[in-house]
């Protein structure tokens, strides 16, 4: 079985999440895997003055060290949780080291930033999956838990959702990287997958206009969206974009914050 390295490049754990971590570890260990926790997984460091909500899993340096620590020891890298913070690291990572030691990486939400950076900056990388993180493992539905178990047992042979290459992840994070070197240009025929949660409808529409004007919709074959009850999507606008750009719009897929089936995104 595999060595599963738990890394924490984003937000700190909330108190109520710490019990979930123990439960998640026990579940994964019951499948025969070994768990390696980065030292910073339980750190809690403020990054903004007078804002106790913005706590990171350590300083930037501690989070990078934790990523390298697990990267060097594990077969599979599994995110502790998302939240915010991975964008603080991406201009400071050693992409030569990451390229020479490709690993399977699992996560979503804020981890989208890390996926995009690795895809754009590494000469070679292994597999990346938009899939559940450790802190939510114990709350997965039976079908999600079984799919997650299958993924951890053999990532290379986890069933693809399409013959086309996937790109994407969280809409806010994709939009935030537009214009930077950390968002690789799209190739013709790819599928763009996007999901979002807890964003007002007008912000979501504005971000779709942003990716439209930036040309991200010009060459894609299909646009896949997570569940509509996670966010308010202006489907009328997206249908207009679909007709103009010639891509297929596919809605209400079980990948995201509400339903957490794994999706290979590279």
Return the domain boundaries, the chain. Answer: 3-157, 166-259
194 pLDDT band (50/70/90 cuts)?
very high
How high is the pLDDT of residue 52?
A: 60
CB 255 within 8 A of CB 226: yes
How high is the pLDDT of residue 74?
A: 97
Range 231-236 average pLDDT: 96
Question: Which of these CATH numbers, 3.50.30.60, 3.40.440.10, 3.40.50.2300, 3.20.20.70, describes 166-259?
Answer: 3.50.30.60
Percentage of the chain modeled with pLDDT above 70:
98
What confidence tens digit (pLDDT) does each residue in 251-262 have? Answer: 999 999 999 999
Place of tokens 């990948």: 255
Bridge pairing between strands 45-46 and 55-56:
antiparallel
For the chain, give the mean pLDDT.
95
Q: What is the CATH number of domain 3-157?
A: 3.40.50.10740
How far apart, in whole angstroms, are the C-alpha atoms of residue 239 and residue 224? 12
Percentage of the chain modeled with pLDDT above 90:
87
Contacts within 8 Å (CB) and 24+ apart, 51-54: 54/84
Is pLDDT above 80 for 202? yes
The reply to whether domains 3-157 and 166-259 share a CATH topology is: no
Is pLDDT above 90 for 161? no
Token pair, residue 186, equals 């799209």
130 pLDDT band (50/70/90 cuts)?
very high
What confidence tens digit (pLDDT) does each residue in 40-72 have? Answer: 999 999 987 766 668 999 999 999 999 999 999
Range 219-242 average pLDDT: 96
How high is the pLDDT of residue 162?
A: 85
How far apart, in whole angstroms, are the C-alpha atoms of residue 190 and residue 167? 7
Across the beta sheet with 34-37, the strand order is 34-37, 3-7, 76-79, 104-107, 128-130, 263-264
How high is the pLDDT of residue 38?
A: 98
Range 90-116 average pLDDT: 96
* Structural Rg of the chain based on CA atoms: 18
Is pLDDT above 90 for 163? no
CB 140 within 8 A of CB 264: no
Range 230-256 average pLDDT: 97
How high is the pLDDT of residue 50?
A: 67
Is pLDDT above 80 for 125? no
How high is the pLDDT of residue 15?
A: 87
């Amino acid at each position: 079985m595999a060595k599963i390295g738990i890394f924490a490049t984003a937000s700190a754990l909330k108190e109520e999440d710490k019990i979930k971590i123990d439960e998640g570890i026990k579940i994964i260990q019951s499948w025969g895997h070994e768990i390696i926790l980065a030292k910073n997984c339980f750190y809690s460091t403020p990054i903004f003055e007078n804002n106790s909500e913005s706590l990171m899993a350590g300083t930037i340096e501690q989070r990078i060290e934790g990523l390298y620590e697990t990267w060097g020891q594990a077969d599979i890298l599994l995110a502790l949780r998302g939240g915010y913070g991975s964008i603080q690291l991406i201009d400071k990572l050693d992409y030569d080291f990451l390229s020479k030691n490709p690993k399977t990486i699992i996560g979503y939400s804020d981890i989208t930033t890390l996926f995009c950076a690795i895809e754009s900056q590494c000469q070679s990388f292994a597999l990346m999956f938009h899939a559940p993180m450790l802190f939510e493992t114990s709350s997965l539905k039976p079908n999600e838990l079984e799919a997650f178990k299958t993924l951890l047992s053999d990532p290379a042979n986890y069933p693809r959702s399409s013959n086309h290459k996937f790109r994407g992840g969280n809409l806010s994070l994709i939009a935030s990287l537009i214009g930077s070197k950390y968002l690789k240009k799209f190739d013709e025929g790819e599928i763009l997958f996007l999901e979002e949660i807890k964003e007002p409808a007008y912000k979501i529409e504005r971000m779709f206009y942003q990716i439209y004007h930036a040309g991200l919709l010009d060459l894609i074959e299909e646009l896949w969206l997570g569940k509509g009850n996670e966010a308010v999507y202006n489907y009328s606008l997206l249908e207009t974009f679909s007709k103009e750009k010639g891509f297929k719009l596919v809605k209400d897929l079980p990948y995201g914050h509400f339903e957490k089936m794994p999706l290979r995104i590279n």
